[in-house]
Amino acid sequence: MQGGVLRFLCGALLLTQEPALAAGIDRQKWVLRRESGTNYACKCYPGDTCWPDSGQWQKLNATVGGNLQVDIPPGAPCYNTFKGPLGDVQTYNADECATVTANWTSEQFQVEQPAAALWTYFTNDTCRPTTNPTDNCTLGYYPVLVIMAKTVAHIQAGINFARENNLRLIIRNTGHDFLGRSVGWGALVINTHSFQDIKFTDTWQGASGYNGSAVTVGAGVQAFQVLKQANALKPPKIMVTGECATVGVAGGLVQGGGHGPLTNLYGFLADTALEFKVITADGKLTTANAKTKADLFWALRGGGPAAFAVIVEATYKTFDDQPSAGVSFDIDASVTTNATLFWEAVRVFHGHSARMVDDHGLYVYWELGTAGQNLHVHPIVGVGMTADQLAAALQPLYDDLAALGVRPAVTTRAFPTFYDLYEAMFESEVAGNSALTGGWTVARADVAANSTGIVDAFRTVLGAGSFIIGHMWSAGYGLPRAEWNASAVNPRFRDAVSKVITVVPVAGNAPLAEKAAAQDKLTNVVDAALRAAAPNGCAYVNEADPYQPNWQNAFWGTNYPALLKIRQKYDPDGLFYAVSTPGTENWTQIETDTRLCRKL
């Protein structure tokens, strides 16, 4: 982001002299540009001679059953005019404006829009609901056209069209992405939300040797849908999902890894994958599992979203649900207003992470600094535990806090199943925020060596105006060691006991210098402090700063070279793109984060 801004200030120029073209660059299909002394071959955008003409678009629309739409931002009904790249559209509608205004922060409302991003920073915060209809609604960094795919053939048609015409292609599932990877300026979108099939089996008959229970879900299925149906089975089943009920289970989550309250027991969602049905960059529908296209199967398990293929269906292990217990408490002004004491309490709490995770397999969701000087622990989850067992597991933490004089009011609850706990104790989340997101994991060795240094880093994060959303889990606790390398997630995750997301609030329509300063703060102050305090940690590609130094190693460690080869095998020409995924080193968005281009 910062790099893009600097390049913009240096000026963007059309090429006056054609550079020597790299092999494989067809002049009819690429737009040649030059910025800050570097030559680029760019994808095709509206206005470029290589942008398809209306006849080609109509043909595509017929192939996808009339499901091709002009992308109009969700706030457009509040404006008289949407000034899009394909022409003006009159959009004002008082009722629809009232609906979008009322639902702007509803995750599910935004999920159901064709191409909305829940975190608005990456749209340029464009076209927010307004009471001023004479303002113009503009496209910002949103894509231009959307295929609301209903069949595999529609996805194939979209992939083929984007490849043949060298368009930027975005796969959009729920739009939750923290890094803006489900939007992209000037792109064609394939929306997978209609792929809603859910099928359970008690005895999976697949290639892996596993013959237990499993579920096959379509690309658009969200966590709350599959968990609800699994709970209605007899006996009730569960599967690994994120803590957030509205995130998809077959899109970005599994391709990034996918951690959640069951990660201590079964690893990442990616670790529980049995098979994917995918469409590769050549437009072919194929199956990837432990026997067929095993390299692709491995890469799709945590190797990075939108990098290897489009998932149309995923099969995961399911597990018997168990009675579970949960705890919540706050350390805030209700407990102490003494800053020294507060940070001592945070140190004690975080110092217990390795013990809670390694000795008891507990999952902890916590927030630090979301409401000033506050630590909100909500919930700590003990799957398979009674309330008494969980209370006993946490007694050493309570004792150490009490020794400081900190006695938070603790709520302890027991439930017949984990699902009941999940429904009752996880708090709902909102859409519509504008922020940059970073994050880092902390290894058990770091907790042992540097408990105080880690909390000093947290203080640096909060001091910079950022806040923390934390999780504690161990991805190596319950999953047998022999299965660790079956997925592509960074092997260092198996040593993690704590993982934080850092959030740097910044308006998506802030002046460019302010955006650049926010990105600089995230990379060089906020996350830099965490990296220094926990040198054995790593970063989770779905919840981290894509512009951090050495992202290849931070996201995938020793797995990176293999992932790069698989990317080059399955998508040699860069049909897919998501920032800082394997093989994207030579790709960048020039001209202030707009045109996606390959360095020449």
Ligand X SMILES: *[C@@H]1O[C@H](CO)[C@@H](O)[C@H](O)[C@H]1NC(C)=O
Nearest-CB residue to ligand X? 453
Rounded to the nearest whole angstrom, what is the least distance from the CB of residue 256 to ligand FAD in the complex? 5
Q: Is 293 in the site for ligand FAD (CB under 6 A)?
A: no
Q: Is 259 in the site for ligand FAD (CB under 6 A)?
A: yes
Binding mask of the shown chain, residues 57 to 86, with x at each position contacting ligand X by CB under 6 A: ----x----x-xxx------------x---
Q: Is 168 in the site for ligand FAD (CB under 6 A)?
A: no
How many of the other CB atoms lie within 10 Å of CB of 337?
10
Structure tokens at 62: 């017929």
Region 567-586 residues binding ligand X, contact defined as CB under 6 A: 583, 585-586
Region 197-236 residues binding ligand X, contact defined as CB under 6 A: 203, 211
The only residue of 35, 71, 125, 177 in contact with ligand FAD, by rule CB under 6 A: 177
Q: Give the closest residue to 198 by CA, choosing from 165, 223, 181, 162.
A: 223
Q: Is 178 in the site for ligand FAD (CB under 6 A)?
A: yes
The only residue of 201, 208, 509, 524 in contact with ligand X, by rule CB under 6 A: 509
Phi, psi of 588 (to 5 degrees): -160, 160
Burial class (CB in 10 A: 0-12, 13-18, 19+), 135: middle
Burial 464-490 (b: 16+ CB within 10 A, else e): eebbbbbbbbbbbbebeeeebebbbbb
Measured at the CA of 495, the angle between CA 563 and CA 181, to 5 degrees, comes to 45
Which of the choices ligand X, ligand FAD, none does residue 450 contact, using the CB cut-off of 5 to 8 A by kind? ligand X
The only residue of 262, 281, 311, 457 in contact with ligand FAD, by rule CB under 6 A: 311
The only residue of 31, 127, 578, 596 in contact with ligand FAD, by rule CB under 6 A: 578
Which of the choices ligand FAD, ligand X, none does residue 15 contact, using the CB cut-off of 5 to 8 A by kind? none
Rounded CA separation 385/506 (Å): 41
Rounded to the nearest whole angstrom, what is the least distance from the CB of residue 426 to ligand FAD in the complex? 9
**Contact predicate 416/235, CB 8 Å:** no
The only residue of 48, 96, 135, 429 in contact with ligand X, by rule CB under 6 A: 135
Q: Is 333 in the site for ligand X (CB under 6 A)?
A: no
Rounded CA separation 43/7 (Å): 18
Which of the choices ligand FAD, ligand X, none does residue 192 contact, using the CB cut-off of 5 to 8 A by kind? ligand FAD
Q: Is the dihedral of CA 386, 387, 392, 395 positive or negative?
A: positive
Region 102-131 residues binding ligand X, contact defined as CB under 6 A: 102-103, 106, 108-109, 124
Q: Kindly indicate which of the ranges 124-132, 170-178, 286-294, 480-488 contains the residues binding ligand FAD, using the contact rule CB under 6 A.
A: 170-178
Q: Is 275 in the site for ligand FAD (CB under 6 A)?
A: no
Residue type (1 letter), 560: Y
Q: Kindly indicate which of the ranges 93-101, 225-233, 251-259, 562-570 contains the residues binding ligand FAD, using the contact rule CB under 6 A.
A: 251-259
**Contact predicate 170/179, CB 8 Å:** no
The residues facing 238 across adjacent strands are 319
Rounded CA separation 105/103 (Å): 6
Q: Is 90 in the site for ligand X (CB under 6 A)?
A: no
Rounded to the nearest whole angstrom, what is the least distance from the CB of residue 453 to ligand X in the complex? 2
Give the three-class secondary structure for 11. coil
Phi, psi of 411 (to 5 degrees): -105, 125
Structure tokens at 570: 């399955």
Rounded to the nearest whole angstrom, what is the least distance from the CB of residue 324 to ligand X in the complex? 27
Residue type (1 letter), 130: T
Q: Is 251 in the site for ligand FAD (CB under 6 A)?
A: yes
Burial class (CB in 10 A: 0-12, 13-18, 19+), 290: middle
Describe the strand order of the beta sheet including 198-201 as a list of residue ranges. Answer: 198-201, 214-218, 310-317, 273-279, 285-289
How many of the other CB atoms lie within 10 Å of CB of 22?
13
Task: Select 8 or 141, whichever has its Cβ closest to ligand FAD.
Answer: 141
Q: Is 96 in the site for ligand X (CB under 6 A)?
A: no
Residues that bind ligand X (CB under 6 A): 61, 66, 68-70, 83, 99, 102-103, 106, 108-109, 124, 134-136, 138, 140-141, 185, 203, 211, 338, 340-341, 344, 449-450, 453, 456-457, 481, 484-485, 491, 509, 532-533, 535, 558, 583, 585-586, 594
Residues that bind ligand FAD (CB under 6 A): 118, 170-178, 181-182, 192, 219, 242-244, 247-248, 250-253, 255-256, 258-260, 305-306, 310-311, 429, 542-543, 578
